[in-house]
Each structure stands twice: as C-alpha cells, then as structure tokens.
Amino acid sequence: MLQTLPGASRGVAEVIIAETGGDMSRFRTAGHLASCAGVCPGHHESAGRRRSGRRRHSNRWLGPALGTAAMAASRTRDTTYLGARYHRLVPRLGKKKAVVALEHSILTAVWHMLTDDVTYRDLGGDYFTRRDPEQAIRRLARQADALGFTVRFDPIEAT
C-alpha cells in the first residue's frame, strides 16, 4: 500500500514499516509521527532573534529512506501533488528545507494511509492552481508587472 506514494519504492516502504512498526496507534497524530522521525518544522524565534531551526537527528534508517522518497517525489514536477509542493516551496525555503518539508508531507500521508487503511490518493500537480485560481491570477499579474507589462485576464468562453 505504501508503494502507491510517489517516490516510495519497495525498499523505502519496507524501511518505513520496519522503523515505525506499521501500527499507527502508537502515534496520536501525524505530527507525533513526524516528531518521532525528526522531520518537524522548526521555527525558533523569540524577542526578534532567530535561533537555529535545524531538524533533529532522526532514526538511522528512516531519515535516509524518507530523503530518498522525497528526492524521487520532487522530480515529478507537474504530475503529482508532492512534486508541485516541492517546486512551490523551493523559491522561498531553498532546496534542502523543501526536501525536509516534503519528507514531513510524506510521513503525514503515511500516517493517514496506515491509520485509515487506504491507498494514496494524489491531489494532482495542478492542485494549488485549482484550489485558489484568483491567487494564481494575482501572482501572474505581479510577475508581469515586475517585467514591465500590463495584462488583462478574460475568461475563455465555452463553445
């Protein structure tokens, strides 16, 4: 069932099952599983000072397996949700932090898959555009303005 995840090969699925036990009742939420694996998002800021937000050292076998799955999923740019998520995060976070965010997304999906006993249902590479089309239009307009162009968007009439 875990091999339905983009980027998860048989070896990665075996490592995930071996290291988590396959029984998700040990973890109350997907966040608890991510914390146990050491891929929680870190943001340490207090009084205007930013401290290190590095991830914790993770399980010796689970961390590299998740990294492999995340790198493989990141190469599916326009076809899967995980690939679109990676390419959406890279400009803001950088490549390494985007991979860690993808590892967190993969573990969240694994927790839901094993808790609810379902296969992975991909949202699609165009999920973020479909979710909020007005935001996509605003982003395109800002990019055109930065290049010195004025644009007007008119909907296509159905024939």
- The secondary structure of 20-71 as a DSSP string is H-S-GGGSSSHHHHHHHHT-----EEETTEEE--PPPP--TTHHHHHHHHHH
Phi, psi torsion values for 45, nearest 5 degrees? -140, 135
Q: Given a cut of 90, is residue 46 above it in pLDDT?
A: no
The model carries a pTM of 0.79
What is the C-alpha to C-alpha distance for residues 143 and 132, in angstroms, rounded to an integer?
17
Q: Given a cut of 70, is residue 52 above it in pLDDT?
A: no
What is the C-alpha to C-alpha distance for residues 127 and 115, in angstroms, rounded to an integer?
24
Average pLDDT over the chain, rounded to an integer = 87
State mean pLDDT over 67-88. 90
pLDDT in tens, 115-129: 999 999 989 888 888
pLDDT band at 50 (very low <50, low <70, confident <90, very high): confident
Q: Which two tokens stand for residue 36?
A: 């146990």
Q: Given a cut of 90, is residue 1 above it in pLDDT?
A: no
Q: Given a cut of 80, is residue 57 above it in pLDDT?
A: no
CA 12 to chain centre: 17
State mean pLDDT over 50-68. 78
What percentage of the chain has pLDDT greater than the value 70? Answer: 94
Give per-residue burial for 75-87: e unless 16+ CB within 10 Å, then b: ebeeebbbbbbbb
What is the C-alpha to C-alpha distance for residues 104 and 70, in angstroms, rounded to an integer?
9
State mean pLDDT over 2-23. 88
Q: Given a cut of 80, is residue 58 above it in pLDDT?
A: no
Q: Which H helix or E strand runs over 90?
A: helix 81-93
Q: Which two tokens stand for residue 14?
A: 């075996």
Q: What pLDDT was estimated at residue 43?
A: 67
Q: Which amino acid is at 87?
A: H
